[in-house]
Amino acid sequence: MALKLPIFMDSPSTTPVDPRVLETMLPYFTEKFGHPSSRNHPFGWEAEKAVDQAREQIAKLIGARDPKEIVFTSGGTESINLALKGIAEMYREKGNHIVTTAIEQRAGLDVSKRLERQGCMVTSVPVGQDGLVDVDEIRKAITDKTILISVMFANNEIGTIQPIAEIGKLAKEKGIVFHTDATQAVGKIPVDVEAMGIDLLSCTAHLIYGPKGIGALYVRRKSPRVRIAPIIDGGGHERGMRSGTVPVPLAVGFGKAAEICTEVMSEERTRLKALRDKLQDRILSSLDEVFLNGHPEKRLPHILNVSFAYVEGESVLMGVNKEGAISSGSACTSSTLEPSYVIAALGVDSELAHSSIRFGLHRLNTEEEVDYIGTRIVEVVKRLRDMSPLYELAKEGVDIKSINWKAE
């Protein structure tokens, strides 16, 4: 079978809809078109039943005990907004302090900034060189006004997986609500809201081979019961937490995608990790001055992020952009020319941060595709370095940083 180009390796931005998901969705666009809140006729009953089944499938994937804890939203961004803003408003009489990390995705960071402008205090805890947050640093950041801890389950750029269960235990010990943005983790690695002490969890369908346009927020109902103020008012849908008609076909697709992930996650995780490691070994064994970003072991099985010294990341992307879809950062920030704030938070200097490239494997990638992309990346980087006077000087043993580039 001939290799089909371009090859998609940007799965942290989105994933293709699984054909089984699409097949399950299709009847709900035409034959089964009822409104799930129309409870006085069979069309509505049928739609409501389908939405309830989707809640059950998603709840099972994340270890939630009650499907009613699943609140449908338009996607991960809205789920994060609802969690942070909803807690800030509902618990404002108790306090106004939020603890988060420096490498949350833009939705989390930007919501925190807005809440600061509205009077909240936000402490952004730094991470180590491997992208891991120190639980003791979170503990130190807590005050008597802290109402929420919000930490990303796994980072979308470097894949580092945070010590979520430890943070959940700390939150329970302090009586603080704990939210995690698990948009990258759900369906890829085991997530258990009960075992990990998670009170609020944001996730989305399009990162687990489901449709775009629908996400969910898990909201704990017991031990403790978590309450959030809505950010969208209207007909009181989703038990008053998120008004608006639930898009039944999308919910059905989300549920089916979650069901498939529950069934294949273990096997898929092993396969993708093997492909990722093969790609990593191909690059690191063929090139010098290549640096792995993130934790070498505590990371998602499908994400590889490396920096190539003495080349620009954008130049590498341009060298392969007709053959492969890879990224120099998250989909939320790729429109800017600034180096990744995530890579910079690891203590990486600006030059290396500018040279970082993220590879994101997915369910449909093959070994042949990994071999092709690995070979092309090595070729492109070697060609760019052949044109780089900096690389030539470095190979001659010159300390680049000691050079005075200004004429006297």
Q: Which residues are catalytic?
A: 332
Which of the 8 DSSP states describes residue 296? S
Distance, in Å, from the CA atom of 183 to the CA atom of 216, rounded to the nearest integer, reads 10
Distance, in Å, from the CA atom of 257 to the CA atom of 103, rounded to the nearest integer, reads 27
Distance, in Å, from the CA atom of 280 to the CA atom of 274, rounded to the nearest integer, reads 10
Contact 43, 37 (CB under 8 A): no
Contact 54, 248 (CB under 8 A): no
Distance, in Å, from the CA atom of 57 to the CA atom of 261, rounded to the nearest integer, reads 10
How many CA atoms does the CB half-sphere of 276 hold within 13 Å? 28
Structure tokens at 140: 């130190």
Range list of H helices, 321-404: 341-345, 350-354, 367-386, 389-395
Count helices and strands (H / E) in the chain.
12, 12
What contacts 197, CB < 8 A, 6 or more positions away?
A: 165, 167, 168, 169, 171, 172, 178
Contact 237, 257 (CB under 8 A): no
Q: Give 81's strand partners.
A: none
Structure tokens at 366: 């093959």
Angle, nearest 10°, between helix axes 106-117 and 76-90?
30
Distance, in Å, from the CA atom of 221 to the CA atom of 233, rounded to the nearest integer, reads 21
Burial class from Cβ neighbours inside 10 Å (0-12, 13-18, 19+) for residue 92 reads: middle
The secondary structure of 134-184 as a DSSP string is: PHHHHHHH--TTEEEEE--SB-TTT-BBP-HHHHHHHHHHHT-EEEEE-TT
Identify residue 380 by its one-letter amino acid code. Answer: V
Contact 171, 178 (CB under 8 A): yes
